[in-house]
Structure 1
């Protein structure tokens, strides 16, 4: 049975959505990153980057959420667009856009809004601006298309959903007003039974909630380096 190493952050959740959509039987393997479980040798042998998610599918190991979506989509033949060069190009483009732009800028915007040990106006402005720009591109795309790749619900939409469902957390409570087309698609995906099952993982598996000193030291080791230099 496929093993799914996860926590409840945006990137693992997009993989959980695919697994539920595709009806793939899987063994959930919680990784509590606030306890440092991502650095256990057995897990690093699967994902040397020490992040989540990862999967083990028989003899196959895959890490990085978008790589997992591509692997599972191609293996099962599910939630892929039409098999044409044009649609394949669009799928890869939007998958990489999410992986290299939307996701990391969302993550940095969240970090500097909610978790940075000090207020850094330049960083907040930089990452908020870039997050807003990336969501604006998505919104423009979805203005004229039901889904990111034409009229088909694909892994590109699942990849977007991981972070997009948290737009108010990324950019503030009023942010949805700027991205009505992204909101429309997120609400459509949220209503799908598979998304409801994916979200229910938070009731089935408990993770450390407190961001105490131990968790901060594990999650943000660069702060310790700053402390030593000071």
Structure 2
């Protein structure tokens, strides 16, 4: 059994997409980040960076004590290796998957996240910041669109953890001020990935957990006012 510490954010959706694809038994432990539950001592023992998702595998492969993981990319890679699926075995396919997984972790996620913040949540509009992150998000969409332009169905040819990592960050494209019709190859991939039964099930689970906005007047300080003391 796997315990998934989760909230309804793009990084949370990555892992439910994997678990539904792999049909692994798992239990969701909700961590309401808009109410500060990510700072609970018991959660910080699993995820010292006070971010979701986190995972506990109660039956790791070597048969040892339960294994705790944080960071969504690390969790996806661990799970792919655990089940022997969604990452290629050959060196070229494996490294293509890893490159695009790291691209999402180091580029698409952080830049789209800053886009979300300055476009939607900053208390005062900052045109320079908005323009910078909307443009950078657009550039990254263009990178993925070009990669997909050679006719491949998925990012690393076969469906993989690279697709699971990227898809949830494209879902809020309208809030990122992106027009999918400007990226036709990405748009086709987006529809293809979103229509997978496991993706549909993963987002249905999200609706069971939370339908309210993560960021509201009450949660702004919790989410955006963190300093070093919060990690204690």
- Shared fold, TM over 0.5: yes
Q: How many residues align?
A: 219
Residues 33 and 214, structure 2, Cα contact 8 Å, conserved in 1: no
**In 2, Cα distance between the equivalents of 1:203 and 1:147?**
26
**In 2, Cα distance between the equivalents of 1:218 and 1:178?**
36
2:193 aligned residue (156, 174, 189): 189
Could you tell me how far 1:206 is from its partner in structure 2? 3.1
**In 2, Cα distance between the equivalents of 1:166 and 1:181?**
17
Residues 35 and 208, structure 1, Cα contact 8 Å, conserved in 2: no
SS at match of 1:198: helix
Relative to its length, the structure with more helix (as a share) is 1
**In 2, Cα distance between the equivalents of 1:66 and 1:88?**
14
- Whether 2:84 is the aligned partner of 1:77: answer yes
In the other structure, the counterpart of 2:177 is 171
**In 2, Cα distance between the equivalents of 1:165 and 1:87?**
26
Could you tell me how far 1:211 is from its partner in structure 2? 3.9
Change over 3 Å in CA distance of 1:218–1:80 after alignment to 2: same
Query: What whole-Å deviation, never above 9, does each CA across 1:106-159 have from its counterpart, x for those lacking one?
Result: 11111111111110011111111111111100000011122111x211111111
Unmatched tracts of structure 2, length 5 or more: 59-65, 228-232
SS at match of 1:161: helix
| RMSD (Å) for aligned C-alpha atoms | 1.6
**In 2, Cα distance between the equivalents of 1:125 and 1:40?**
36
Could you tell me how far 1:28 is from its partner in structure 2? 0.5
- Whether 2:67 is the aligned partner of 1:60: answer yes
Unmatched tracts of structure 1, length 5 or more: 224-230
**In 2, Cα distance between the equivalents of 1:94 and 1:212?**
32
